[in-house]
Amino acid sequence: MGIISLIGEGLKSNIVRPKIPYKLTFAVTLHCNSRCKHCNIWQLQPKNELNIEEIRNFAKANPNFTIVELTGGEPFLRSDIVDIAKAFSEYSKKLYAITLPTNSLVSSDLIVERVKEMLKLKKKIVLTLSLDGYRELEDEIRGVKGNYDRVIALYKRLKEIKEENKNFDFKFGFTMIGLNQGKFFETLRRVKEDLPEVKITNFHINVGAISEGYYGNNSTLKDNILVDREKAANEIKEIIKAYKKEMGILNFDLVSMGEYIYMLGLLEFIRTGKNPFKRLIGEASIYMDSFGNIYPSILVSKKLGSIREDGYDLKNILSKSKDVLEEDDRKHYTFCDEEASIIGDIPKDIELMFKPLQ
């Protein structure tokens, strides 16, 4: 039911602009136990974040989500993370997947326990394990000694869960930034020394961005974040080639196809500075911070409203923000947004797939 609803909503958005979002990115907390050199979220001391009752009321008032991403900060720092997942699972009848990133610094026993509890919801559960470098580089970027080893240890635990449950999946999340540019293939090689079975298709690739509203990584961190566009494009091109070779023509499913198209779009974005897809932020997808403020995207700091100030119904909030939504913003590219954009822009998907790599 969930995957059919997701595809249906996506196909429909190729024809008409969505009236209500079907993808939610929700920062359940801005508390974080990392010390990343490219992000300032960990320096925040947030107070009065949404409680579980407010989250349940929001989920009940907006039952149309097919994908819910519970992000942070570190989402597993919330002791009620399973209850949050349950709220969306209960009220979003078309829900296909709940996705969560993690820095792997919370106890692996706790994460495994929480994942197993979420899987009882009978929804697709997907974890992304942040890994931005090999052992020394990861620990340096994240500012926590032993971070790399914690990621590897958690990967081994999660592999056991995946073998037992078809509704579970997980990947490494590699964010290309100035501090690790040109280091992806070295990272892959070193990870394979610890996990010989790991392939390039076990990685999700992203590129770092400056966002005052979300990451709080202003211009003082610019040198740590921004990449050399030409060098990044060449590296992403090689990643795409390796990904395609590893998958083979016969092994592409909907998820891997979406990942492949996302990387093709990422390559074009890096080269041109413009998002190649039809922008559906604030329409097919929205971002809500841990205080209930609504934005078109984690990278676009144009506040649309607040569930605490304007009520829980997104239709009401978005109807009051028409002028903001009409502003076209193609300067950003992140998977949080592009999941909806890829499904909702099939002509561009086809163009990218048949366009020769340059």
Give the C-alpha separation, 87 to 54, whole Å. 10
What one-letter code names the amino acid at 326? E
Read off the pLDDT of residues 307-321 as tens digits, 9 standing for 90 and up: 999 999 999 998 876
Does residue 73 have a cis peptide bond before it, meaning omega lies within 30 degrees of 0? yes
Residue 329: predicted pLDDT: 63
Q: Nearest Cα to 74, choosing from 42, 115, 49?
A: 42
pLDDT of amino acid 325: 52
Question: Which has the higher per-residue pLDDT, 219 or 85?
Answer: 85
- 98 forms bridges with which residues in the sheet? 68, 125
How many CB atoms neighbour CB 357 within 10 A?
A: 11
Closest CA to 300 of 272, 265, 325, 264: 325
Residue written as token pair 């009520």: 311
- 289 confidence band (pLDDT: 50, 70, 90): very high
**pLDDT band for position 220 (50/70/90)?**
low
Q: Is the dihedral of CA 75, 80, 82, 86 positive or negative?
A: negative
pTM of the model as a whole: 0.92
Counted domains in the chain: 1
For the stretch 235-266, pLDDT in tens is 999 999 999 988 876 666 777 888 999 999 99
Report the percentage of the chain scoring pLDDT > 90: 63
CATH of the domain at 29: 3.20.20.70
Helix, strand and coil content of the chain, in percent to the nearest 5, comes to: 45, 15, 40
pLDDT computed for residue 271 by the predictor: 92
Report how far residue 165's alpha carbon sits from residue 186's, in angstroms, rounded to the nearest whole number: 31
pLDDT confidence tier of residue 279, bands split at 50, 70 and 90:
confident
Would you say residue 1 has pLDDT above 60? Answer: no
The C-alpha atoms of residue 297 and residue 299 are separated, in whole angstroms, by 5
Residues 31-55: tens digit of each pLDDT: 999 999 888 888 888 999 999 999 9
Sign of CA dihedral 227, 280, 78, 148: negative
Q: Is the pLDDT of residue 122 over 80?
A: yes
Structural domain harbouring 59: 2-354
Which residue carries 């822009």 as its tokens? 345
- pLDDT score of 74: 97
Average pLDDT, the chain: 89
Element of type H or E holding 26: strand 23-27
Q: Average pLDDT, stretch 91-97?
A: 93
Residues with Cβ within 8 Å of residue 80, at least 6 apart in sequence = 52
Amino acid identity at 331? K
> What pLDDT is attached to residue 137?
97
**Cα–Cα dist 102/72, whole Å:** 9
213 pLDDT tier (thresholds 50, 70, 90)? low
